[in-house]
Chain A
Amino acid sequence: QSVLTQPPSVSGAPGQRVTISCTGTSSNLGAGYAVHWYQQLPGIAPKLLIYDNNNRPSGVPDRFSGSKSGTSASLDITGLQAEDEADYYCQSFDISLSGWVFGGGTKLTVL
C-alpha cells in the first residue's frame, strides 16, 4: 500500500482533458513538501514530468500541468494524445518515514 494515493486508472479520448489525483497526509504533502510527477512509457525508465508542484522541465509540453493544495495534488493533461498513454506517478518526501515516497501509479488509457 503506497503512502501517496492515486487512482489505478484514468482514460480519455484524444483531445480531451484528464486529471490524475494524488492524496497524501500531514507527514508529506500536508507538511508542505512539494509533489513531483513522473511519466513511465511501457518498458521504459520513468521520466520527470513536473517538479516542485507545477514546474515543467525543458522539453515537456505545456499540455502537462500540476497543482497542489494541502494534502492533495493533481496532474492535468490537456489535448490528450495517443503518445500520452503511460503510467504516471506522484512523489514527495515523508517526514515520518524520513525518506521519499511514491504514489501507486495511475495508468492512463487514451481511448
Chain B
Amino acid sequence: EVQLVESGGGLEQPGGSLRLSCAASGFTFSSFAMTWVRQAPGKGLEWVSGIIGSGVRTYYADSVKGRFTISRDNSRNTLYLQMNSLRGEDTAVYHCAKFRGYCSEATCYYMDVWGKGTTVTVSS
C-alpha cells in the first residue's frame, strides 16, 4: 500500500525555522516527483513546492520562494521541506503528495496520493 506520513510540524515564532519530513512507502520513491501542498485554516489548497525524482529540478510558489527549500533523500525514501523566515501566513496544514503524470513532462503532473498532513502554526 502506498503511504505518505508527514512529521515535523509545530508552533514556531515569526522569523523562525522548521523542517518538515515526509516518509514514503509502498512505491519506488526515486522514480516519482513529489510535492508539498498546504491548506491554511478554513481556506483552500495552495501548492507550495515540487521536486522531480532525481532531485535535480525544484519548483516553488512565489509565496515561499527564497524562504523554503525542498529536498529529498532517495536512500531514505524521505521528502523534506526546510522552512525559514516563517510568517503568520505560513500557518497551515502541510500535505506531501506523490506526483504522477499523464506524460513525462512536469506540466502533466497531478497528485495521486496524499499524506494526512502536519500542522504548522506561526505565532508569537
Nearest residue (CB) in B for A102 is B45
Contacting residue for B102 out of A47, A51, A101, A105, CB 8 A? A51
Q: Is the CB of B44 within 8 A of A100?
A: no
Q: Is the CB of A38 within 8 A of B109?
A: no
* Residue A111 lies at the interface, judged by CB distance under 8 Å to chain B: no
* Residue A110 lies at the interface, judged by CB distance under 8 Å to chain B: no
Give B3 Cβ to nearest chain A Cβ, in Å.
Answer: 12
Q: Is the CB of B110 within 8 A of A51?
A: yes
Number of residues of chain A lying within 8 A (CB) of chain B: 29
Give B46 Cβ to nearest chain A Cβ, in Å.
Answer: 7
Q: Is the CB of A52 within 8 A of B102?
A: yes
Q: Is the CB of A102 within 8 A of B44?
A: yes
Q: Is the CB of A102 within 8 A of B95?
A: no
Nearest residue (CB) in B for A50 is B110
Nearest residue (CB) in A for B46 is A102
* Residue A10 lies at the interface, judged by CB distance under 8 Å to chain B: no
Give complex CA distance A46, B44 in Å. 11
Q: Is the CB of B115 within 8 A of A45?
A: yes
B-contacting 9-mer, from A16-24, A73-81, A87-95: A87-95
* Residue B116 lies at the interface, judged by CB distance under 8 Å to chain A: yes
Interface readout for A15-55 with B: 1 if CB under 8 Å, 0 if not?
A: 00000000000000000011010101000111110011001
Q: Is the CB of A45 within 8 A of B44?
A: no
Which residues of the other chain, A, contact B100 by a CB distance below 8 angstroms?
A: 51
Q: Is the CB of A48 within 8 A of B110?
A: yes
Q: Is the CB of B45 within 8 A of A38?
A: yes
Which residues of the other chain, A, contact B109 by a CB distance below 8 angstroms?
A: 93, 100
User: Which residues of chain A have a CB within 8 Å of any CB of chain B?
Assistant: 2, 33-34, 36, 38, 40, 44-48, 51-52, 55, 57, 87, 89, 91, 93, 95, 97-105
Known: A36-B110, A45-B115, A93-B108. 7 other contacts (CB 8 A): A45-B117, A48-B110, A51-B110, A52-B102, A97-B61, A100-B109, A102-B47
Chain A to chain B contacts (Cβ below 8 Å), 14 pairs: A34-B110, A40-B45, A45-B114, A45-B115, A46-B45, A46-B111, A51-B110, A55-B102, A57-B112, A91-B47, A91-B111, A93-B106, A93-B109, A99-B60
Closest 7 CB pairs of A and B: A105-B44, A36-B110, A52-B102, A45-B114, A100-B47, A93-B107, A102-B45
